[in-house]
Amino acid sequence: MPLRKIFSKSSTEYSFKLWVIVGIIISFFSLIAINFLEPLSLLVIVFSAILLLIFIQYPLAGLYAMAFLFPFSNWQFQLQSINVPYVDLVALFLFSAVCIRFVIHFHEKKKFDRRDFLKIFPGIFFAGMFFIACSLSIFNNEFFSEAFKYLLRPLIFFYLMFVVLPVNLLHDKKSLNRILKIFLAVGVAVAIMGFLSLLFASGSWYMHRATPFSFGDFNPLGGNHNAVAEVLIVALPCAMILFLQAGKVKFKGWYVLAMLFMSLILILTFSRSGWLGLLLELLILFFVRYVRQASIYLVSAVVMFLILIPAIFYITVWNQVGWIQVSNSNRLLMTEISLNKFAEHPIIGHGLNTFQKLVGETFVYQIEFGEALDSHGFAQKLLTETGLLGFLTFLAFLFYIFHQYYLAYTASHDAHSRMIILCFIMMLSGITLMELFSTSYFIATMWLPVGVGLAGVRVFKS
């Protein structure tokens, strides 16, 4: 039987034959390899082979697994010198499986032209320009190998794994809604973790905030309160999309409760970037969907409530907390360092993966804050490391993605679909704004929702 038929058929007969062949090969390999490899290494190899074959036959299973794992960057596979988040590991296996499927089925495509290539690699021109700009900046980094590794992962990695894969695997509402339900389930789980951290916190009132909760020594989310806010910023529009598609009142009620709970926990993270992301999502929803139905006085009142009230609370209460003032000073000094370093190499920057090193070499920062941190925001990061070329090409890639969302919104003539696409626009806008002040700008936490959203707007546009 030709290999392509084994992988292209989904009947019980072909699946059974596939797994019989796999079982024989793995058993034969294990009998030989057990004499040369440690049992743990052999187990990892066998499990990897089985996982790869599962993803070859059922690639959507890999994408669902990525959706379950996307915010848990602190949950990592560790073996000797290997240390990688499980979401990245699953993505790598899935990408390999999809490449194998593509090779197997390539001959079935009678014609492969430029349009097919652009469908497989969305925004490849802008992404390619960004990668070229980053490649040029590598030469300003004295540690060339580390800079080149950073180019491959996370930069090229996030595009291939978290943008290309979802766009090529999600083609129908059924699989898309499954991903959205997983995002929502993860969001509720993270909100529960944040609620547990509120319950068990001690100290003054401002110490009772929603942060990643540790189960003993196990903290899969990692990071600080912003890590909780990033997930909820993504999960809230997902809940709204599912609410719009729910047929039964009972299901709609559950989605409403989920949105209320996650919104409350998001507010209780006291994450300033999280508040801004939520505010932007609400403003987009209000101005696009409801502004025409309201009077100018109501619009003004809503805007004042959403902007002025939180701002007054922050200035008069929250900004007086000591460690908030320290955080503000840290960010301001980091911005100043970034601008000074950008002025030294404004075109191609100081080189990839040098921001933390440059901050650590700044005497004032060492005296004030001690250990250097990576950039809290992609603008500082790119301006310092890749200069104007890297920063502007990254903005061009982001603009391309926003434009694709917008085109889908304007092209859809169905009001229901337009509302769903608007929710995807809210999700994209909220998480992008957060990453102007956070550190997840090149990992799955930001880019998997963006890639799923890009696939989603294509589905609902059609």
**How confident is the model at residue 5, as a pLDDT?**
46
Q: How many Å apart are CA 354 and CA 360, to the nearest integer?
A: 10
For residue 3, pLDDT beyond 50: no
Q: Which tens digits make up the pLDDT trace of 404-421?
A: 999 999 998 888 999 999
Q: How many Å apart are CA 259 and CA 187, to the nearest integer?
A: 10
**How confident is the model at residue 118, as a pLDDT?**
84
Q: How many Å apart are CA 324 and CA 309, to the nearest integer?
A: 19
Domain ranges within the chain, ordered by starting residue = 3-112, 122-461
Give exposure, 281-290, as e/b (b: 16+ Cβ within 10 Å).
Answer: bbbbbeeeee
Least confident of 33-42, 60-69, 162-171, 177-186: 33-42
**How confident is the model at residue 76, as a pLDDT?**
92
For residue 140, pLDDT beyond 80: yes
List the structure tokens of 88. 């990245």
Contact between residue 226 and residue 271 where contact means Cβ atoms under 8 Å apart: yes
Give a three-class secondary structure readout of 222-289. Answer: CCCHHHHHHHHHHHHHHHHHHHHHCCCHHHHHHHHHHHHHHHHHHHHCCCHHHHHHHHHHHHHHHHHH
368 vs 335: which has the higher pLDDT:
335
Q: Which tens digits make up the pLDDT trace of 191-216?
A: 999 999 988 876 665 567 889 998 88
Contact between residue 210 and residue 194 where contact means Cβ atoms under 8 Å apart: yes
